[in-house]
A and B are shown apart, each in its own frame.
Chain A
Amino acid sequence: MTPPAVRLTAISKRFGAVQANDAVDLTVAAGAIHGIIGENGAGKSTLVSILSGHYTADSGEIALFGKPVKLATSADAIALGIGMVHQHFMLVPNFTVLENLMLGLAKAPFLAESRADVRERLARIEEDYGLSVDPDMVVERLPVGLQQRVEIIKALIGGGRILILDEPTGVLTPDETDRLFESLKVLKSKGVTILLITHKLREIMAITDTVSVMRRGRMVAHTATADTDRASLAELMVGRSVELVTNTRSRAAGEVALAVRDLSAEDETGKGRLHAISFDLRAGEIVGVAGVAGNGQSELLAVLAGLTPPSGGSFAFAGRTVSAAAPADPHLMRRLGLAHVPEDRRREGLVMAFQMLENAVLGYLRFARGARRWLLEKRRMRERCDGLMRRFDVRPPDPRLRAAGFSGGNQQKLVLAREHGAAPTVLLVGQPTRGVDIGAIEFIHRELLALRDKGCAILLVSVELDEILALSDRVMAMNAGRIVGILDAADADRQSVGLMMAGVDRAANSDRAAMGRAGMGHAGMGHAAGDER
């Protein structure tokens, strides 16, 4: 029997007080696709960083193809055939594909020689693995899926035999994900060993041969993928049984709370980011905005929250119409009853260096003012924070701790609690569960649904399609700053929404989509659909 491609024995790594990896064992057979699954902070990234030479383990042994090795630097790992594809691409955006691939490979004193050499290697990669890409394209002009392919080629071109992919599908459309998986299968058939790091159970089931589950720095299970299922993997990840939240709707959507008409927006450079967006958001419904990151969802949230002025069109909310001529600001929008859970809670939603009691009034200083309006009262802030923490089960429940000292899930709970506490009529939610553990995800989903049931209108932006499908009453797909279509939850599945995310308006000739694009009349549709459930 051939020795395993990777064998890790009792790998441990500690960062300060955190034991990131605790005596982790891992065996990956040569030529297999092996999945490593676990929640955020379970230690997956640390483990692969050790395998790719980025960190050095405190203790433990690494053997590749049966031979013990020492990986002190990334260069050691690359020399031994380990290629890493990072979640965030490590490419020079304004270099061509060829120039990017030459980084680290150009050994000859003059570039012309290396260029020819790399071009030749690239041709061989295409022949061997069927990974084709135009070598003279500038990387930033390539679609994300192809940029990722360049990363994979970069990992293989130096002779990589073991490919590590860290959360590779986060930035891909479902369609691009499928294509990636096909490429991975080809690579596997050519004998490349693949480690897939992910938190998405679906991907594990779809493509891996074997899977390892990590929890709190430990390996809790190794199994053949065929012998397990999603529910038991989820249970292993969390350490207890997980109830997935289901969207059961108690009543139909109500009045239009937010009416968006032909809304457009530009970035600082004057480039159009939103193009004539029109839709209605009604009281008591969740409209999910599906789309690959960077297709205008963030800009939509920013405009509706009053952070960026629209460049064209308008939206009406609480009796006020906001347009380029009459812009709003976040302060005004909050006063009118719009709350906003921002996509990036670490930069926007919280001030990491502030105590939680200060964060509990971020944007809502009115809750901190005392009888003397020009002073903030610490006591009021602490009491408010206390209440929010209790209501949303934020742990540890100590308002005096700085935000940075809380886990992602607890940080997010506080942000949601704060926005919830303002009793909004419209809630904008961006990536509510990014970097949040499963327990907190459940909690946050339940709270969002409860808020919806109380009549709040919620616009939910998420790159997690499963989340959109689980929570939304209607699903709106965006591509390149446009709404491709709006589907009722009953008609929305991964395939239909995935196609729309890729910009294909599958239902272009159906009346419903036409009405959805016009933004009018559509709301009646949502209403009717709501009644059916």
Chain B
Amino acid sequence: MSAAPLPRWADVVVIPAINLVLAFLVAGAVVAIIGENPWRAFLVMIEGAFVYPGSLGYTLYYATNFIFTGLAVAVAYHARLFNIGGEGQAAIGGLGIALVCLALDPYLPGVLVIPIAIAAAALFGAGWAFLPGFLQATRGSHVVITTIMFNFIAAGVLVSLLTGPLIRPGQSTPQTRNIAEGATLPKVHEILRAMGFDAASSPLNLSLLFALVAAVGVWVLVWRTPFGYRLRTLGESEPAARYAGVAVPRTIVIAMMISGALAGMMAINDVLGAQEKLVLNFTAGYGFTGIAVALMGRGHPVGIVMASLLFGALYQGGAELSFEFRTIDREMVLVIQGLIILFSGALAYMFEAPLSRLLSRRGRRAVHA
């Protein structure tokens, strides 16, 4: 007999908290080993992520990426599909934005180009996830394998386009020309300054709002719609889904496409918001980090938003660490981030059984008392 399932609050709050504390302790030990003060390093990270001018903007900017890719992984995971292809889907989503903007921004006003570009990001991402989903549904080709391969293909497509037809004429950097002024998403510091506030500049832009809307949308989709019900049924038990009359192949394809659309929409943060152009390798591994975010957030939008904040802070605060300490270089920061991913992702359920035992023992004592 297995241990009783954990109450939801324990699963969503206590377990991630334990994992996080443990990750920080181990990371602190590593910092101590190379001869720095872990506590000071921790403070530098916090300050670097939230306190220094503009740092909060950066943290939220990174978090926006992670919300999108984390939601993408989570939607697929509710159907027990492991979409590793967020990276490629985001890249192709960015391509969609670039194509729309480059083609339309000379002719149409920004208010029209922006929604079309966002739709294109979702559509291109969904399209890039369609084939892996279709192959999984009809041929049983595992999406883990196919989406990874599609990441490489996407990278190749972007390289060839950004060094060829899409490159800005007259330069050698693999990127497109800038998107026209009015056809980009306004940055938050620009808005704040327009309202008369003093704000340090950061790449944070309106995409964060879209990310939060997407989080609400995913919650409604997964827990409040018939499709979400079928999705979760399929994820929990394929025989039960078949019994209930769920069209399994169709559900797999649609789940992958929604996942791909969310990953594709990550591109609006960078292409339409921060950079205002399509730059090679703008995805920078956010698609992969989304896996850890989704795991840490337990597949729930609230958890994903919180995990995204954490990872955003780690990215930004981690970068600060390497400025502050001579001995902590960029690679060291990666080690710390890796530890967090290890504890909250790969080892996420390490403490589930002991915690469940602890809770049931306490519960029993309460009954006896």
Within B327-353, the residues touching A (CB, 8 Å) are none
Is A222 interfacial (CB 8 A cutoff)? no
- Find out whether the CB atom of B244 lies under 8 angstroms from the CB atom of A363: yes
Is B242 interfacial (CB 8 A cutoff)? yes
Q: A residues within 8 A CB of B3?
A: 16
Taking the nearest CB of chain B, how far is it from the CB of A373, in angstroms? 8
Q: B residues within 8 A CB of A206?
A: none
Within A396-447, the residues touching B (CB, 8 Å) are 402, 404-405
- Find out whether the CB atom of A340 lies under 8 angstroms from the CB atom of B243: yes
Taking the nearest CB of chain A, how far is it from the CB of B247, in angstroms? 7
Q: A residues within 8 A CB of B4?
A: 16-17, 405
Taking the nearest CB of chain A, how far is it from the CB of B360, in angstroms? 6
Is A369 interfacial (CB 8 A cutoff)? yes
Is A450 interfacial (CB 8 A cutoff)? no
Q: B residues within 8 A CB of A342?
A: 243
Cα A20 to Cα B247 in complex, Å, equals 41
In the complex, identify which listed stretch (B21-29, B86-94, B182-190, B223-231) lies at the interface while the others stay far away.
B223-231
Q: Which of A17, A332, A363, A405 contacts B360 (CB 8 A)?
A: A17
Within B201-250, the residues touching A (CB, 8 Å) are 220, 224-226, 228-229, 232-233, 236-237, 239-240, 242-245, 247
Is B369 interfacial (CB 8 A cutoff)? no
Is B1 interfacial (CB 8 A cutoff)? yes
Q: A residues within 8 A CB of B357?
A: 16
Cα A238 to Cα B247 in complex, Å, equals 43
Q: A residues within 8 A CB of B226?
A: 365, 368-369, 374, 376
Q: Which of B225, B228, B240, B364 contacts A350 (CB 8 A)?
A: B240
Closest to A18 in B: B1
Q: A330-B242, A376-B226 are in contact. Are A352 and B1 (CB under 8 A)?
A: no
Cα A374 to Cα B229 in complex, Å, equals 11
Q: A residues within 8 A CB of B240?
A: 347-351, 362
- Find out whether the CB atom of A362 lies under 8 angstroms from the CB atom of B1: no
Is B5 interfacial (CB 8 A cutoff)? yes
Q: A365-B226, A376-B226 are in contact. Are A348 and B5 (CB under 8 A)?
A: no
Taking the nearest CB of chain B, how far is it from the CB of A394, in angstroms? 18
Q: B residues within 8 A CB of A340?
A: 243
Is A375 interfacial (CB 8 A cutoff)? yes
Q: B residues within 8 A CB of A307?
A: 242-243
Give 1 or 0 for each of A487-520: 1 = CB within 8 Å of chain B CB.
Answer: 0000000000000000000000000000000000
Is A110 interfacial (CB 8 A cutoff)? no
Cα A352 to Cα B237 in complex, Å, equals 9
Give 1 or 0 for each of A344-362: 1 = CB within 8 Å of chain B CB.
Answer: 1001111111100010011
Cα A351 to Cα B243 in complex, Å, equals 11
Query: Quick one: which of B4, B233, B242, B243 has the most chain A CB within 10 A?
Result: B243
Chain A contact residue count (CB 8 A cutoff): 37
- Find out whether the CB atom of A331 lies under 8 angstroms from the CB atom of B245: yes
Q: A348-B239, A350-B240 are in contact. Are A16 and B1 (CB under 8 A)?
A: yes
Taking the nearest CB of chain B, how far is it from the CB of A461, in angstroms? 15
Taking the nearest CB of chain A, how far is it from the CB of B258, in angstroms? 15
Taking the nearest CB of chain B, how far is it from the CB of A517, in angstroms? 31
- Find out whether the CB atom of A16 lies under 8 angstroms from the CB atom of B243: no
Q: Which of B1, B5, B237 contacts A402 (CB 8 A)?
A: B5
Taking the nearest CB of chain B, how far is it from the CB of A333, in angstroms? 8
- Find out whether the CB atom of B243 lies under 8 angstroms from the CB atom of A353: no
Q: A residues within 8 A CB of B243?
A: 305, 307, 330, 340, 342, 348-349, 362-363
Closest to B220 in A: A375
Q: Which of A17, A20, A354, A375 contacts B225 (CB 8 A)?
A: A375
- Find out whether the CB atom of B225 lies under 8 angstroms from the CB atom of A351: no
Taking the nearest CB of chain A, how far is it from the CB of B347, in angstroms? 21
Taking the nearest CB of chain A, how far is it from the CB of B254, in angstroms? 14
Closest to B244 in A: A363
Query: Quick one: which of B1, B239, B240 has the most chain A CB within 10 A?
Result: B240
- Find out whether the CB atom of B364 lies under 8 angstroms from the CB atom of A17: yes
Cα A395 to Cα B208 in complex, Å, equals 46
Q: B residues within 8 A CB of A344?
A: 239
Is A334 interfacial (CB 8 A cutoff)? yes
Q: B residues within 8 A CB of A347?
A: 237, 239-240
Taking the nearest CB of chain A, how far is it from the CB of B344, in angstroms? 21
- Find out whether the CB atom of B225 lies under 8 angstroms from the CB atom of A374: yes
- Find out whether the CB atom of B1 lies under 8 angstroms from the CB atom of A15: yes
Q: Which of A18, A330, A352 contacts B236 (CB 8 A)?
A: A352
Is A229 interfacial (CB 8 A cutoff)? no
Q: A residues within 8 A CB of B247?
A: 329
- Find out whether the CB atom of A365 lies under 8 angstroms from the CB atom of B229: yes
Cα A405 to Cα B242 in complex, Å, equals 23
Cα A332 to Cα B237 in complex, Å, equals 21
Q: A347-B239, A354-B236 are in contact. Are A330 and B245 (CB under 8 A)?
A: yes
Which 7 A-B pairs have CB atoms at the shortest separation, nearest pair first? A331-B245, A330-B245, A15-B1, A363-B244, A348-B243, A348-B239, A347-B239
16 A-B pairs with CB atoms under 8 Å apart are A15-B1, A306-B245, A307-B243, A330-B245, A348-B242, A351-B236, A352-B237, A353-B5, A354-B233, A362-B233, A363-B243, A368-B226, A374-B225, A375-B225, A376-B228, A405-B5
Given contacts A16-B3, A331-B245, A344-B239, could you give 16 more A-B pairs where the C-beta distance is less than 8 Å? A16-B357, A307-B243, A340-B243, A348-B240, A349-B243, A351-B233, A353-B5, A353-B236, A354-B232, A354-B236, A361-B229, A362-B244, A365-B229, A374-B225, A376-B225, A376-B226
